[in-house]
Amino acid sequence: MNRPLLESAAERSLRYLDELGERRVGPSPEAVSALAQLDGELPAGPSDPLAVLDRLDRLGSPATVASAGGRYFGFVIGGSLPAALAANWLAGAWDQNAVMTATSPAAAKIEEIAIHWLLEILDLPRDSGVGLVDCDTQGIFCGLAAARHALLLREGWDVESQGLFGAPPITVVVSEEAHTTVHKSLGLLGLGRNRVIRVPTDGQGRMRADALPRLTGPAIVCIQAGNVNTGSFDPAAQICAAAHESGAWVHVDGAFGLWAAAAPARAHLTRGVADADSWSVDAHKWLNVPYDSAMVAVRDARHLHDTMAARAAYLVGSEQREPWTFTPGLSRRARGVEIWAALASLGRSGVADLVERTCRHAASFAEGLRAAGYEVLNDVVLNQVLVSFGDDETTRRVIAGIQEEGTCWCGGTVWQGRAAMRISVSGWATTDDDVARSLDAMLRVARATT
């Protein structure tokens, strides 16, 4: 045990977090260049761990993106709640392998409690089968794998044993706005990235329920709760009803949007989502737990369980829920610990407040930008704002200027053919003051550019 080393790590971490409020959000080019000093020959022998930590902090910390702070609005990226970060430190010390009860009764039990709470706060069927996975992409992959299993089982085909060659075909329906990770997952599953029917969307990127094709035979319909650009929701109630008429399976990609269910004023957006057959959602985005953390839930637990089945003499079962029987992997970190800590520390009202507060900040950005004469391209129903500063070239120059200025950080996207800056307010740490300072910086840069 090296107490000075671990105390130094805690000390340095606290200093890092203390300085987040005042530092530039994107790292300076000099800090990024200096990372090269970590390179060199693989050390031939040992070094003092304190010196190793010092180099890492001195060179690594300044080159980080301050996404743990309150003025990072890029992509859809949350921070780490204090309780979740603290739990992460403790769980790091525990170093549990959360594969099964035998390797860690604590990890298995805490995971089970976290799952129970997740299903409750997201208002999903309480007896769903759930796997805690590393990211929403893997959640989609697992949900669609369970779908493939269930649909082909109904046709008398055991896909896990027999494979896909010669299997009855599965029709896959996505919207024009399906997240790229849906296509990636379809590719990994042998269902084909492009072998899909694409349903057109409306002006906010919502799947048009009236354009859903008539389905026959095994079919999967992928919908989303929370468009990555606009934050809009596919009309889940209508689509689930139509899809289920023909026995199709509906998967909901709810990476961040599903958290709207936890906020009473936003929950209406998720109407019908719980009618689906499987769901994937990130915890590392809006719940603000450390990377990497997400979940897949499958209404009929058996289908996820049977899809992930494996056999080895040393994989011992028990009366308990065994984590590995719901995930592709075996050995894994105890990510349920941070989810448990986040939910235990916030409670129902705390999660509702986190979601509602970040949505309100997004609305403030939209209002401020509109008032200054810039065009907000989406209905700001959630935590996502798309803004145009003029023609595409100008918008791109403003985005680059804002990133370089450093007060805040926003990324670019293309929305329905137009360049846009995307503001995503997903971090717990953002305050009214962060919004005011960031808006001020955005407008300063925009005026100087346009």
What residues are paired with 423 via a beta bridge?
385
Residues 251-280 that bind ligand PLP (CB under 6 A): 253, 255-256
Sort strands 411-415 and 418-424 into parallel, antiparallel or unpaired.
Answer: antiparallel
Q: Which pair of structure tokens corresponds to residue 258?
A: 């599903």
Does residue number 434 form part of the binding site for ligand PLP (CB under 6 A)?
no
Q: Nearer to ligand PLP by C-beta: 179 or 266?
A: 179
Does residue number 386 form part of the binding site for ligand PLP (CB under 6 A)?
no
- Pair 111, 276: CB distance under 8 Å: no
- Contact residue for ligand PLP among 80, 96, 137, 185 (CB under 6 A): 137
3-state secondary structure 127-180: CCEEEEECCHHHHHHHHHHHHHHHHHHHCCCCHHHHCCCCCCCCEEEEECCCCH
CB of 168 to ligand PLP, least distance (A): 28
CB of 224 to ligand PLP, least distance (A): 6
- Please tell me the total number of residues recorded for the chain in this structure: 450
Cα–Cα distance measured from residue 409 to residue 406, given in angstroms and rounded to the nearest whole number: 7
The interface mask with ligand PLP, positions 74-113, x = CB under 6 A, is --x-------------------------------------
Q: Nearer to ligand PLP by C-beta: 76 or 439?
A: 76
Q: Nearer to ligand PLP by C-beta: 108 or 228?
A: 228
- Pair 160, 145: CB distance under 8 Å: no
Q: Which stretch binds ligand PLP (CB under 6 A): 22-30, 115-123, 131-139, 260-268?
A: 131-139
Q: Nearer to ligand PLP by C-beta: 384 or 395?
A: 384
CA angle, residues 32, 38, 39, in degrees to nearest 5: 105
Cα–Cα distance measured from residue 334 to residue 94, given in angstroms and rounded to the nearest whole number: 9
Q: Which stretch binds ligand PLP (CB under 6 A): 37-45, 250-258, 309-317, 396-404?
A: 250-258
Q: Which stretch binds ligand PLP (CB under 6 A): 59-67, 132-140, 345-353, 395-403?
A: 132-140
Q: What CA dihedral angle connects 77, 63, 80 and 5, to 10 degrees?
A: 160
Cα–Cα distance measured from residue 283 to residue 136, given in angstroms and rounded to the nearest whole number: 9
Residues in contact with ligand PLP, counted by CB under 6 A, come to a total of 14
- Pair 328, 321: CB distance under 8 Å: no
Sort strands 219-224 and 171-175 into parallel, antiparallel or unpaired.
Answer: parallel
- Contact residue for ligand PLP among 224, 229, 364, 403 (CB under 6 A): 224
- Contact residue for ligand PLP among 24, 179, 333, 335 (CB under 6 A): 179
Q: Nearer to ligand PLP by C-beta: 179 or 332?
A: 179
Cα–Cα distance measured from residue 128 to residue 312, given in angstroms and rounded to the nearest whole number: 26
Q: Nearer to ligand PLP by C-beta: 177 or 277?
A: 177
Q: Nearer to ligand PLP by C-beta: 410 or 439?
A: 410
- Contact residue for ligand PLP among 294, 362, 380, 446 (CB under 6 A): 294
Nearest CA-CA partner of 134 in 279, 288, 318, 335:
335
Residues 392-431 that bind ligand PLP (CB under 6 A): none
Q: Which pair of structure tokens corresponds to residue 437?
A: 């300072």
- Contact residue for ligand PLP among 79, 226, 290, 323 (CB under 6 A): 226
Q: Nearer to ligand PLP by C-beta: 218 or 427?
A: 427
Does residue number 181 form part of the binding site for ligand PLP (CB under 6 A)?
yes
- Contact residue for ligand PLP among 177, 282, 338, 434 (CB under 6 A): 282
Cα–Cα distance measured from residue 143 to residue 188, given in angstroms and rounded to the nearest whole number: 13
CB of 229 to ligand PLP, least distance (A): 9
- Contact residue for ligand PLP among 68, 85, 121, 135 (CB under 6 A): 135
CB of 97 to ligand PLP, least distance (A): 22
Cα–Cα distance measured from residue 308 to residue 39, given in angstroms and rounded to the nearest whole number: 40
Give the count of beta carbons closer than 10 Å to the beta carbon of residue 10: 10
Point out which residues bind ligand PLP (CB under 6 A): 76, 135-137, 179, 181, 224, 226, 228, 253, 255-256, 282, 294
